């Protein structure tokens, strides 16, 4: 098998959600360059990063102190250990140190043929320290033929071209075109070393019938946080190329990310020399650091958050009397009359939830709840209020306040907040019914009410409602989840007021 050098623009892109990207490079104990930076860059650009160490580098932000190259046999063992087990989507190659290391990597590339190879021809550190033996330059040029993209800075581009260093942007582009033609590889030419107000980059592709040059203009960022920029750019690009139809687009995306990370470097305080970039600056700013809870965690947290409300409901004379059968008949019938008024608009709110639901399953559930469950409960009310004594009843303050809360959530048109507000009517009633059921008996005056809410069908419906609401809360961003919790809590408080009201009149 030979290395896969099919042009990237003609490939069918991978469809993996998380690209598996291997970095083959040296180390940086301060974390700003080498494989440490590569792993951060791969993760920041949506990939799963792996690393094979070519050299152990004693360095910091001020410079390189020494380089230890492990035996090449150990390098081969590392490479084989990864590729024997993991299907690779892309490989980024950085510091290779000497001819033996380059040869080992070349042999592995020919045998494994990764679908994407990005070579960062690391030769000289930002500090000026030499990271590649001079006698290995020719071997590195030959290795570049197995890559799809190389990402040299201006001094490294000159070495690849075996020419004097470019001193202008046009010279840089011309030199990149010659390297692309000679080595059969796309060249990401970088203008950061030029003495000018801008820092342009360009993707130069002379591997086909015509020269293609895509220029990326960028303002120069005044900062000393540039340590590891080349490492980070190349590993980020290797990740972005997986699944990309157009290499030029992938370069544009990683360019925006690297600029954001360079700007964010000022927030770091790492070292006294050229500090590192902040690989996760944009991610932290946009997403924060809070983890999302699981639906089970939401369930436990919300139920606990209304513990005081539940305990107050349990202690109410109405509920105590309902449980032992001592509740006055007129108080119970008055409660049912208010509940009948409440259920009319509650059914409308359930129907609104069905209309707003994002899935067919949720749509069907809330529609069924509006029709089936409410119909069953209204039958219970009609059996108690058939004499017409409570005809003409108007909503009291507690009923009106509860309905206003639900209808306001309907008017907002936000599905998640609405179903959170609907949940306590399921959850609290089913909980009360279950706990009062052991006190029910054949002659209990309120047996039918207790057994309605303790019924297995009600339990199943309630469980589904809890699942849909807690799943939505787990998916939501923090602000949306908090809005849901507030709507849920207020409905629970309205339930408390609803049970208080019958004995106030």
Would you name the residues annotated as active-site residues?
Answer: 190, 226, 228-231
Please, are residues 276 and 228 in contact by the beta-carbon 8 Å criterion?
yes
Beta pairing class for 212-216 and 117-119: unpaired
Query: Quick one: tokens of 142?
Result: 């030959």
Query: Quick one: tokens of 443?
Result: 């002659």
Q: Give me the torsion for CA of 228, 216, 281, 45, rounded to 10°.
A: -80
**Cα separation of 280 and 257, whole Å?**
9
What residues contact residue 195 under an 8 Å CB cut-off, 6+ apart?
none
Beta pairing class for 149-150 and 186-190: parallel
Query: Quick one: tokens of 127?
Result: 């500090």
**Cα separation of 367 and 287, whole Å?**
35
- Number of Cβ within 10 Å of residue 294's Cβ equals 12
The 10 Å CB-count burial string (b at 16+, else e) for 269-293 is ebbebbbbbbbbbbbeeeeeeeeeb
Please, are residues 120 and 92 in contact by the beta-carbon 8 Å criterion?
yes
DSSP 372: I
CA distances to 5, 7, 84, 118, 322 from 15, rounded to whole Å, are: 20, 18, 22, 19, 60
Please, are residues 47 and 118 in contact by the beta-carbon 8 Å criterion?
no
**Cα separation of 253 and 46, whole Å?**
12
**Cα separation of 54 and 132, whole Å?**
12
What residues contact residue 296 under an 8 Å CB cut-off, 6+ apart?
470
Which DSSP string do the residues of 151-165 spell out, in sequence order?
A: ---HHHHHHHHTSPP
């Amino acid at each position: 098998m030979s290395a896969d050098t099919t042009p990237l623009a003609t490939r069918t892109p991978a469809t993996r959600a998380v690209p598996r990207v291997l970095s083959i490079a040296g180390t940086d104990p301060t974390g700003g360059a080498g494989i440490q930076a590569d792993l951060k860059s791969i993760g920041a650009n949506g990939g799963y990063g792996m690393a094979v160490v070519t050299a152990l580098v004693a360095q910091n932000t001020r410079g390189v102190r020494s380089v230890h190259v492990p035996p090449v046999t150990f390098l081969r063992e590392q490479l084989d250990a990864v590729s024997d087990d993991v299907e690779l989507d892309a490989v980024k190659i950085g510091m290779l140190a000497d001819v033996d290391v380059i040869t080992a990597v070349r042999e592995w590339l020919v045998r494994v043929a990764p679908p994407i190879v990005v070579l960062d021809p690391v030769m000289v550190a930002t500090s000026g320290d030499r990271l590649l033996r001079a006698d290995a330059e020719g071997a590195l040029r030959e290795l570049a033929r197995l890559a799809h993209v190389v990402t040299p800075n201006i001094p490294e581009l000159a070495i690849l071209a075996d020419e004097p260093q470019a001193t202008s942007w046009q010279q840089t582009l011309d030199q990149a075109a010659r390297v692309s033609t000679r080595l059969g590889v796309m060249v990401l030419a970088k203008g950061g070393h030029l003495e000018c107000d801008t820092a342009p980059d360009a993707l130069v592709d002379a591997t086909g019938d015509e020269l293609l040059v895509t220029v990326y203009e960028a303002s120069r960022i005044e900062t000393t946080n540039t340590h590891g920029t080349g490492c980070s750019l190349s590993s980020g690009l290797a990740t972005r190329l997986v699944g990309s139809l157009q290499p030029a687009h992938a370069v544009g995306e990683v360019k925006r990310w690297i600029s954001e990370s360079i700007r964010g470097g000022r927030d770091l305080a790492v070292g006294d020399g050229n500090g590192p970039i902040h690989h996760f600056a944009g991610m932290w700013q946009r997403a924060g650091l809070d983890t999302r809870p699981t639906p089970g965690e939401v369930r436990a947290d919300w139920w606990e958050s209304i513990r005081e409300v539940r305990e107050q409901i349990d202690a109410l004379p109405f509920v105590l009397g309902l449980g032992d059968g001592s509740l006055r008949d007129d108080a119970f019938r008055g409660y049912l009359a208010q509940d009948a008024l409440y259920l009319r608009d509650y059914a409308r709110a359930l129907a609104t939830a069905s209309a707003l639901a994002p899935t067919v399953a949720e749509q069907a559930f809330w529609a069924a709840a509006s029709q089936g469950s409410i119909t069953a409960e209204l039958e219970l009310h009609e059996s108690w209020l058939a004499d017409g004594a409570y005809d003409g009843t108007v909503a009291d303050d507690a009923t009106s306040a509860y309905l206003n809360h639900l209808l306001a959530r309907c008017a907002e048109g936000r599905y998640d907040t609405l179903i959170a507000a609907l949940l306590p009517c399921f959850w609290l009633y089913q909980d009360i019914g279950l706990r009062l059921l052991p006190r029910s008996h054949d002659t209990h005056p309120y047996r039918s009410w207790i057994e309605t809410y303790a019924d297995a069908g009600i339990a199943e419906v309630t469980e589904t409602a809890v699942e849909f609401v807690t799943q939505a809360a787990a998916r939501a961003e923090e602000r949306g989840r908090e809005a849901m919790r507030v709507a849920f809590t207020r409905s629970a408080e309205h339930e408390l007021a609803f049970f208080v009201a019958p004995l106030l009149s």
